Structure 1
Amino acid sequence: MRTSLLSLLAGCLFAISASASAQDFKIGYVNSERLLRDSVPAKAALDKLQAEFSKREKDLNEMAARIKATSDKLDKESPTLSESDRGRRQRDLVEQDREFQRKRRELQEDFNQRKYEEQTALFERANKVIKQIFEKEKYDLIVQEAVFASPRIDITDKVIGALNAQPAGK
């Protein structure tokens, strides 16, 4: 009984796969990494983020330089300082470093949040373009993530071209 059931199941699977291979499927693949790296909207978003965060990053770099200079000065003057002055200056230095680390963390978190927002907006635009290509060219399946994909089905350049042709902010 079990053998005949397995034989029947295998026969059904074979019949399904044979009929599926008889049809022509149109499959496309989109490389998401390339969309984020090569498309004009992605490059514009990156430039926008860099401009948005450049002042804060510059301020942090200046703060780090001041802390380093203060630390070097403390190291140099340490032998001539009284114990209380040395302790006070070390505590001040530790406090400055804590403040620097906090600001650096905040900058990184803010940058990551904004980057996520920009990438989400880009992927929404890209998905609209992919859907238009899907419908216009009558694809049966378009995937964005795959372990392996043949260059023959890669439509990333087509998607990037359509994204680049759109006016900014659309």
Structure 2
Amino acid sequence: MKQPAQPARWMLALLLAPALASAQSPAPARIGYVDMKRLLDNAPQVVAGRRTLEREFAARDTALKADEQRLVELRRKQGTLGKDEADALQREIDALDRSIKRNRETMRNELKTRSDQELDKSWRQINEAVVDFARDQGYDLIVPSPVVYASPRVDVTDRILDRLRRDGGKGTTP
């Protein structure tokens, strides 16, 4: 008969560890669950980061939208012109179209980079808040999402969000 794969043994050991620990110690293990997606969507650090990015990119976004509107107007105008004027205007339209595409792609890449930077900063603060909460409240294990099932009884997401909000979106308490 074929033996189970090595990773399956590790998974079994991880699942049984809390039960074995509680069987050997007088107090049962205290386990909590945290929905990381909810934390990342609602943590004040993340919300503040989104607002920062919106302000940072607002002027460029407005300028890009103005160029796009200008392109629409030039294309509309082109239909009313004679052949020679329409051909001359087509070169301007093509140049503006290339410029818009280039600027949009540049802005998209810069926004992605800045979003990743903001998320990395928030992620560290959120992780610290989870660890601090677990230590302060005497948890032995906090399991992050995704999980197959977590009872609302062990879900500590709201309590951690409250802690993050109390800290004013500035990170965890020392």
> How high is the TM-score relative to the length of structure 1?
0.79
Superposed CA RMSD in Å reads 2.4
Matches within 5 A, 1:116-155: 116-148=116-148, 149-155=150-156
Q: Which amino acid aligns with 1:34?
A: R
Higher relative CO (Cα under 8 Å, sequence separation at least 6) belongs to 1
Measure the CA separation in 2 of the matches of 1:150 and 1:112.
35
Cα deviation digits, residues 12-37 of structure 1 (max 9, x gap): x8xx95x6386422221211221122
Matches within 5 A, 1:42-53: 42-53=46-57
Q: 1:35 to 1:22 in 2, by over 3 A?
A: closer
Measure the CA separation in 2 of the matches of 1:129 and 1:147.
20
Cα offset for 1:52?
0.9
Max radius of gyration: which structure? 1
Cα offset for 1:162?
1.1
Q: Could you list the runs of 5+ residues in structure 1 that have no partner in the other structure?
A: 3-12
Count of matched residue positions in the alignment of Structure 1 and Structure 2: 153
In structure 1, what is the equivalent of residue 103 of structure 2?
Answer: 103
Q: Percent identity?
A: 26
Q: Could you list the runs of 5+ residues in structure 2 that have no partner in the other structure?
A: 2-11
In structure 2, what is the equivalent of residue 81 of structure 1?
Answer: 83
Q: Matched residue of 2:142: which SS? A: strand
Cα offset for 1:116?
1.2
Cα deviation digits, residues 26-52 of structure 1 (max 9, x gap): 221211221122222222111111111
